[in-house]
Amino acid sequence: MRLSDQFGYDLTLSDQDALAAWNATVLAFLAHGKTTPEHLERCLSLSPDFALGHAARGLFCLLLGRKELLGTSQECLAIAKTSAQHTPVTEREQAFIDALDTWMQGFPSRSADILDAMLVRAPEDAFLMKVIHAIRFVLGDAVGMRQSIERVFSAYDEKHPAYGYLLGCSAFSLEETGDYRLAEASGRKGLEFARDDAWGLHAVAHVHDMTGRSEEGAGWLENHPDGWAHCNNFGYHVWWHLALMYLDQGEADKALALYDADIRKDKTDDYRDISNAASLLVRLELEGVDVGARWEEIAQLSDKRAEDGCNVFADLHYLLALLNGGRRMGSDRLLNGLKERAQSETDIGRISAEAGLPTGLGLEQYRKGNYASAFSLLTSARDNLHTIGGSHAQRDVFERITIDAGLRAGFSSEAETLIKSRSSKRGALDRFAEQRLEICGKMRRAEQVMEDENLRAANSV
């Protein structure tokens, strides 16, 4: 006997309570809810041979980017395969097992392709849609995220139980591909159908950030506190977005207060939490704000994760914490790991070689005060930086450091070109860009004065 899930697709389940737990798992996952693991654990306790449940758990662990969870993912894969041999699974369930297997071999990009091929045949499976979205997000594949959703968008209507979540994912993919007007409309509409869609809520905040509307963005988040109250640590990321809005308005004190009260409320070593913290501290320091001893806490945690090597985005944020926290041995270990992985033919090897390693070395040179070298290394990786994963807003910290390195090295023209390129992609000038363009202008005027003085001196000889 097989039961069907809330989207109408067959599952290799016969226990109604297990089915209810699985459906709850999926809805919680769509909403970034903190109860996701609890529901999945209940489902598997009721149906320990549920292959899809084990495959999902394995994929969830890989998405966390923690070295110690690789063994758990491998165990989940083994159980899923054994279960599938004993009880034949559906084609859709097998796709999840194959995707987990492929990622374990080092190719999450191929895993996403496997699942996308299945999504075409099961277009109304919102869980499948969201898992693909999550994998392509960690790969920085904004175009792939958008294409995946657009292929199946017509299969959804307002009666679909996950319609709001689909709109939220669509909003984010539209924002990351620069379609800001449609992104905002999609995100706002999605919340009408799924009020707990923190992803869609935050997609609208991304639009505010990218289009230079920080005051409006702050109001948007302040007026929707219930939109992420149910979240796992994704809630800390939404607080991070609010801090960015405050900082863009020149309210560094409010950003720091959020850092202490909410962003680092729980001193976790989850890479997403470390990235929130490290990138905000860098932004604050670039604005001349004294962040006190805050680097030490995240540097200590990052030191223990320096050899994880599961996610280049994570590695680079650990590195920011290690460098700014004065942990030279930890930063050396992390950079050595990037060098080793850059020799691999896996996805992470390619990403390390093309983006991670040059960026990491550039950050090291920047911290040492070798700004010309830092600028050269960071700009060499710029075109491939999206492959480390994350969003434009998250990767912007590296753009800011690159621009600052250029200015400190005296490369006013090159820095100005980067600032204008950044602003063009974002859709508007923000406070950071306006201030740096002003600095570029002052540098050019000073250079012109010096050139004129040298010319007069030469003519007077």
pLDDT in tens, 163-193: 999 999 999 999 999 999 999 999 999 999 9
Classify residue 337: in a domain, yes or no: yes
Q: Tell me the mean pLDDT in the region 203-220.
A: 97
Question: Are residues 177 and 124 part of one domain?
Answer: no
Beta bridge partners of 4: 10
Tokens of 302: 């990052």
One domain for residues 211 and 254: no
Q: Are residues 212 and 66 in the same domain?
A: no
Three-class DSSP category at 47: coil
CA end-to-end span of the chain:
99
Percent of the chain's residues with pLDDT above 90: 94
In Å, what is the CA distance from 130 to each residue of 40, 65, 317? Answer: 16, 18, 25
What's 123's domain CATH number? 1.25.40
Query: How many other C-beta atoms can be found within 10 angstroms of the C-beta atom of residue 211?
Result: 19
82, pLDDT greater than 90: yes
Instruction: List pLDDT tens digits, range 377-404.
Output: 999 999 999 999 999 999 999 999 999 9
Amino acid at 305: R
Which among 174, 199, 232 is the end of a domain? Answer: 232
Query: Within this chain, do residues 332 and 453 fall inside the same structural domain, yes or no?
Result: yes
Question: Could you report the per-residue pLDDT of 284-299, keeping only the tens digit for each?
Answer: 999 999 999 999 999 9
The answer to pTM > 0.85 is yes
Instruction: Let me know: does 335 contact 360? Beta carbons within 8 Å.
Output: yes
Residue 235 has pLDDT above 80, yes or no: yes
Same domain, 298 and 416: yes
What pLDDT shows up at residue 461?
64
397-455 confidence digits (pLDDT tens): 999 999 999 999 999 999 999 999 999 999 889 999 999 999 999 988 887 776 767 77
Residue 356 forms part of a structural domain: yes
The boundaries of the domain holding residue 361 are: 241-461
pLDDT band at 312 (very low <50, low <70, confident <90, very high): very high
Total tally of structural domains belonging to the chain: 3
Higher pLDDT, 427 or 312: 312
Tell me, yes or no, whether 147 lies in a domain: no
380 occurs within a structural domain = yes
pLDDT in tens, 63-79: 999 999 999 999 999 99
In the structure encoding, which two tokens stand for residue 432, read together? 């950071």
Beta strands 3-4 and 10-11, pairing class: antiparallel
The tokens for 23 are 């459906």
**pLDDT confidence band for 1 (50 / 70 / 90):** low
DSSP state letters, 363-429: HHHHHHT-HHHHHHHHHHHGGGGGGG-S-HHHHHHHHHHHHHHHHHTT-HHHHHHHHHHHHHHHTS-
Q: How many CB atoms lie within 10 A of CB 268?
A: 15
Sign of CA dihedral 151, 155, 159, 161: negative
Specify whether 124 is located in the same domain as 69: yes
Cβ(204)–Cβ(171) below 8 Å: yes
